[in-house]
Amino acid sequence: MKMKRILAMAISTVMTVTMLAGCGGQGAPADTSGAAGESGAATEASGDASGRPVVTILNSKMEIQEQLEEMAQAYSESHDADLEVYYSSDTIAAHLSTRYAANEPYTLAMVDAKDVYSLAAEHAVDLSSEDWVKDTTEAISVDGKVYGFPVCVEARGIIYNADAIKKITGKDFDPESVKTLDDFSALLDELKAGGMAAPTGIMKEDWSLAAHYLAEVYEQHDDPDAFLQSLHDGSANIIKDDIFNSMMDTFDVLKANNYAAGNAISAEREVTEQKLAEGEIAFMFGGNWDWSVINQYDYSENMGIMPVPQNTSSDANTKLVGGGSKYFFIDSSDNTSEAQVQAAKDFLNWLVYDEEGQKFIVNDCALVPAYSNITLAVSDPLGSSVKAYADKGALIANYNYCPDDHYSKLGAAFQEYLGDKSDREGFAKAIDTYWQDATLTEH
C-alpha cells in the first residue's frame, strides 16, 4: 500500500518537473538548421556556437521563398553571418505581433509599405546613413529618417497578350495606340468580330478591385491627401469627380467584355490568368506580380503592361501606377544584438552592390530592382514593361495611407458593382460614406 502511494507520488512529481522544464524551454538549443516555415522558432541566441551573427529573415513574398532559401545557404557559406529564412502566409502585422509578443522578433522583416509607417518608429533601425539610400527613390522615411529598404518595384495597369491580339488583327500590337478609351473599345470590337468571344477578364478579389483599381482614382489626383480630405469632410462627392468617372467608364468597358460576365464575382483568379496567358482573352487589369501566376501556364511570349486607357486630357493614360513594393526593416529591440544589426546591414548592401546580390534580385527572383545602379535586364515580360515605364519616369506613385479596412469594405462595395448589385451612384455613395466615417492616417 505504502509502496504504491510512494510510486504514484514519484510519477506525478516526475511529470510535473518535465512539464515545467518543457514550459521554461528558454535554455534549449535553438533551431539553427535554417529550416523554413513559421513553426520553426527563430534562434534566441544572437550568434551560433562559432560566434557568427544569425540573421533571421521574414519573407512575405511566397513566390521567392525557394530562391531565398538557396541564396541564404550560399550566402552563409561565403559570408560571416548565418541567414535563416522564414515564410508566413498570415497577415504580416498579425504574424509580427506574435513574434514581438514572444520577444523573438526577426532581424530583418519584409513588410508592406503601410507596415513600415506603422511599425518603424518603435521597432526599426534608422538606416539613413546607408549607401543605398542615394541610389533609390523608393526608400521609406518616417520623420526624416530612412527605415524601409525597398525590395523591388511593382506597378499596375492593364496586362495585355500581344500574341493573342496579333492573331486576330494580323498586325503587331502597339500599346501606345490604345491610350484612349475610344481606341480601346474599337480594338475590343475588332477582337470580338475576329472571333474572340470576350476579350477581357476581371479579378474579383477585393484587393485588386479596391486597393489597386479604385486606389488609382486617388493616386491620379495631383494631391491624393487633399482629395481624400475633401471626401472626408464632405466638401466633395466622388460621383462628381472626373477621374473617378473616367476610370469607371473604362471599368464598364472591361466589365461588358468580361469573359465571366454572368458570373463575375465567382471567377477564380487562376482561371482568369490562365485564359490571359494562353490567349483566350487579351486584357486584364493587374500588375507585374501576376507573372508568378501566369508563368504557371502555357503562356505567350509577348505580353506586357500598359496604362489603363482613358478618355482624359491629363497624362494619366500614359503612366503605370506603382513604385517600391515590399520593404525590409531591421529590428531595433534589445533582442537583436549590434552584431546582428551590422550583419543585416551588410546583407542589404550585398543585395544592392554585389554582383551576386544583384543577380539574385533580377535573375533568380525575377523582380524589378528599385536601385538605379543595377542595370541587369529584367527577364519576365511584365517586369520589363514596368522597368521601361520606371526608367522613363512614367510611374504614378502609390498612395500608401489608406486605412487598413479600406480594401475590404470598399472591395465589397466594388464587388457589388461588378456583380450588378449596385450602380455607379450606389457605389459612389458607398465610397463617400466610407471616407466620411474613416479616420485619415496622419503622415
Partner 1 sequence: MNRNKLSYKVSQYLTFAGPALILFLGTVIIPFVYGLYLTFTSWDGISREKPFVGGDNYVAAFTDTAYWQALGRTMVYSFFAVILINALAFFLAYLVTSGVKGENFFRAGFFVPNLIGGIVLGYVWKFVFNRAFVAVADAITGGSNPSLLSTPGGAMFCLILVSVWQYAGYMMLIYVAGFMSVPDSLKEAAMIDGCTPAQAMKDVTIPLMRASFVQCIFLSITRCFMVYDVNLSLTKGEPFNSSVLAAMHVYNQAFTYKNYGTGQAEALILFVICAIVGVTQVYIGKKGEVGA
Q: Which residues bind partner 1 (CB under 8 A)?
A: 9, 12-13, 15-16, 19-20, 23, 91, 93-94, 96-97, 100, 118-119, 122-123, 204, 206, 262-266, 268, 403-405, 408-409, 412-413, 415-416, 419, 421
The counts of H helices and E strands in the chain are 17, 10
Between 266 and 375, whose beta carbon lies closer to partner 1?
Answer: 266
Q: Where are the alpha helices (DSSP H) in 177-322?
A: 181-193, 206, 215-219, 224-232, 242-256, 269-278, 291-294
3-state percent breakdown (helix, strand, coil) of the chain, nearest 5: 50, 15, 35
The rounded Cα 62 to chain-centroid distance in angstroms is 10
- Least CB distance to partner 1 at residue 437 (A): 11
- Least CB distance to partner 1 at residue 105 (A): 10
- Least CB distance to partner 1 at residue 129 (A): 25
- Region for 103 from its dihedrals, namely left if φ exceeds 0, alpha if ψ lies in -120 to 50, beta otherwise: left
- Least CB distance to partner 1 at residue 1 (A): 13
Residue found under cell 512529481: 13
The rounded Cα 21 to chain-centroid distance in angstroms is 42
- Least CB distance to partner 1 at residue 132 (A): 26
Between 174 and 404, whose beta carbon lies closer to partner 1?
Answer: 404
Between 176 and 207, whose beta carbon lies closer to partner 1?
Answer: 207
Whole-number Å distance between alpha carbons of 221 and 249? 17
- Least CB distance to partner 1 at residue 145 (A): 18
Between 95 and 179, whose beta carbon lies closer to partner 1?
Answer: 95
- List Cα–Cα distances, 266 to 269, 288, 416, 418, in angstroms: 9, 23, 12, 11
CB atoms within 10 A of CB 394: 14
Between 161 and 258, whose beta carbon lies closer to partner 1?
Answer: 258
Between 23 and 49, whose beta carbon lies closer to partner 1?
Answer: 23
Between 47 and 419, whose beta carbon lies closer to partner 1?
Answer: 419
Residues whose CB falls within 8 Å of the CB of residue 148, separated by 6 or more in sequence, listed in order: 113, 116, 120, 124, 139, 140, 141, 324, 327, 328, 329
- Least CB distance to partner 1 at residue 138 (A): 24
Q: Please say whether the beta carbons of 204 and 258 come within 8 A.
A: no
